[in-house]
Amino acid sequence: MAELRWHPLTKDWVMIASHRQARPQMPKDYCPFCPSFGNVPDYDVLKYDNDFPALSQNPPVPDDVANGFFKTAEAYGKCEVILYSPNHTQTIKELSDSHMKKLVDLWCERFEALRADEKIKYVFIFENRGEVVGVTMPHPHGQIYGYSFIPKKIQLEVESAKEYQEETGNCIFCDMLKNELEFEKRIIFQNEAFTVFLPFFTEYPYGVYIMANSHKQYISEFDEKEKELLGVTIRDVAGMLDSLFGYSFPYMMCMHNAPVNGENPEEYFHFHIEFFPPMRSADKQKFNASSETGVWAHCNPTCPEVTSQELRAAYQRYMASK
């Protein structure tokens, strides 16, 4: 079964993908993403179609369970795996500037390829890292989903940004960055194209943002220098997080581009990346419990002005170790 089901209370689509339960356990000492096993060619970076996708450009007909109240739709879309390196044990912080540029170029290429399908309304580039967030394949990789709908969080961001622009004439993201830069204390590091900071409102102790300094809505709009710096910035954020407590730090990395194939929010949407590291200390996990999950009322058990100091110190340790 693979279909979309409408959630009438939150006005959002839920992906039902029961076939993913049948995903096999990989045999010990086998990795489908290592060229040496013959499943993929030799590569530096590579796009690989997900073997068990939640979304498909040739989706099955939904089950006959809809009625006048409950709605279903085809699980149309695309799920791709982006392989960062052929080296099974290499981490993103170990990749060179030029290798990271190849990765950003591949993200841009795949973003434009999925965007070309007019039935796809949102292209989501992301990475899940670490067993604590459910990763079962340690080979360095991320993913891209192309949805036939705009996910609820992105929809809320777009609506807030549009409302702010209509009220003030400004981009809400540009003004957020301006205010963070003026306050300074939550800024972690910056280069000419991107700023890394711990937001005033962060729900996670170490939930940093990467914000583009220029007002662009899609990753593919950056020039060559900006793409190079984007790769370096992402790598250095990963290295910084690893330096926090001296181990490979788990996180969810979520790239927020503007929606595609619909209303063009060029004036009011702004490319940024949100990190969600599920640890609140070296050995304590931050769980999304009833308040966070049941009513979306988040509670950060740390003070952003304090944890930003920890992050700056971790960034300095990482840079000194390079």
Q: H or E element: which one contains 132?
A: none
Q: What is the pLDDT along the chain (322 residues), one digit of tens a residue?
A: 789 999 999 999 999 987 555 555 667 789 999 999 999 999 999 999 998 899 999 999 999 999 999 999 999 999 999 999 999 999 999 999 999 999 999 999 999 999 999 999 999 999 999 999 988 888 999 999 999 999 999 999 999 999 999 999 999 999 999 999 999 999 999 999 999 999 999 999 999 999 999 999 999 999 999 999 999 999 999 999 999 999 999 999 999 999 999 988 888 999 999 999 999 999 999 999 999 999 999 999 999 999 999 999 999 999 999 8
Task: Give me the phi and psi of 48, to 5 degrees please.
Answer: -135, 120
Residue 90: DSSP 8-state = -
125/115 Cα distance (integer angstroms): 12
Nearest Cα residue to 139 out of 82, 216, 184 = 82
Is the Cα torsion angle 120, 124, 258, 10 positive or negative in sign?
Answer: positive
> What does pTM read for this prediction?
0.96
Burial class (CB in 10 A: 0-12, 13-18, 19+), 135: middle
Nearest to 253 by CA among 283, 285, 278: 278
Q: Which residues are catalytic, by number?
A: 141
Domain with 50, as residue range(s), is 2-321
CB atoms within 10 A of CB 277: 23
Q: Which amino acid is at 188?
A: I
Total domains present in the chain: 1
Q: What is the CATH number of the domain that holds 81?
A: 3.30.428.10
